[in-house]
Amino acid sequence: MTKIGEGNFNKVFRLQMNDGAVAIARMPHPNAGPSQYTTASEVATMEFARPVLDIPVPKVLAWSATSDNAIGSEYIIMEEALS
């Protein structure tokens, strides 16, 4: 796991699996917006946009809009977007 960025709203990590697969994990800062709604809205927007728009939108692999999970934070794990 490599931290690749941190802004005002998210920390972003690149996850390299043992089999060579790569995923991106985004974890929002507590000040990113209303708890649960921001993460759920981002996932819904990505899921809607992928089949509708003619632009590359990463596939969401897993997500949680609550901190009631193993890492104790909201998160989105998605495919790595390649240009």
Domain count, the chain: 1
9 within 8 A of 27, measured Cβ to Cβ: no
Judged against a pLDDT cut of 80, whether residue 12 lies above it is answered with yes
Nearest to 62 by CA among 7, 18, 15, 11: 15
Q: pLDDT per residue over 21-76, tens digit each?
A: 999 999 998 777 787 888 999 999 999 998 888 888 899 999 999 999 999 999 99
What residues are paired with 13 via a beta bridge? 3, 25
Instruction: Give, for 77, the enclosing helix (H) or strand (E).
Output: strand 75-79
* CATH assignment at residue 22: 3.30.200.20
Q: Which domain holds residue 58?
A: 2-79
